[in-house]
């Protein structure tokens, strides 16, 4: 007996999207690859800026990536995960693109962190 694929129903304000689990996974994976490509292309976006605005950075993505890999039994370490996210060795990226955090960035980061704690 053949099982039908699990159907995912996403109810939005405007319409209902119905898709099978495989299609959902493929869409999510493609969107993630586009996010990585965007971050790798826009090296002017500093991790500090990401942390201030979105409460995550490239290193956070690498940690999440590693956690998911480990959960699935993949042989990976943090350096490998960072290489996947940065598109190059982390130290190379840091040497080429990372700028020192300004006093304004440090202040904004602390304010954002305090706001999130209060929520």
The whole-number average pLDDT for the span 86-99 is: 97
Does 4 score more than 80 pLDDT? Answer: no
Whether residues 55 and 102 share a domain: the answer is yes
- Quick one: 85 exposed, middle or buried, by C-beta within 10 A (0-12, 13-18, 19+)? buried
Domain that residue 90 falls in? 45-119
* Number of structural domains in the chain: 2
The whole-number average pLDDT for the span 11-16 is: 65
Percent with pLDDT over 70 in the chain: 86
Whether residues 112 and 66 share a domain: the answer is yes
Does 3 score more than 80 pLDDT? Answer: no
- The pTM for the full model equals 0.81
Give the mean pLDDT of the chain: 90
């Amino acid at each position: 007996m053949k099982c039908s694929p699990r159907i995912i129903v996403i109810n939005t304000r405007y319409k209902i999207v119905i898709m099978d689990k495989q299609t959902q996974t493929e869409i999510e994976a493609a969107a993630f690859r586009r996010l990585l490509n965007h971050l790798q292309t826009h090296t002017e976006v500093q991790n500090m800026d990401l942390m201030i605005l979105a409460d995550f950075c490239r290193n956070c993505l690498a940690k999440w990536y590693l956690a998911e890999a480990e959960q699935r039994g993949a042989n990976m370490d943090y350096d490998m995960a960072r290489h996947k996210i940065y598109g190059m060795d982390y130290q190379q990226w840091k040497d080429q693109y990372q700028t020192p955090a300004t006093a304004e960035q440090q202040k904004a980061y602390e304010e954002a962190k305090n706001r999130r704690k209060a929520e």
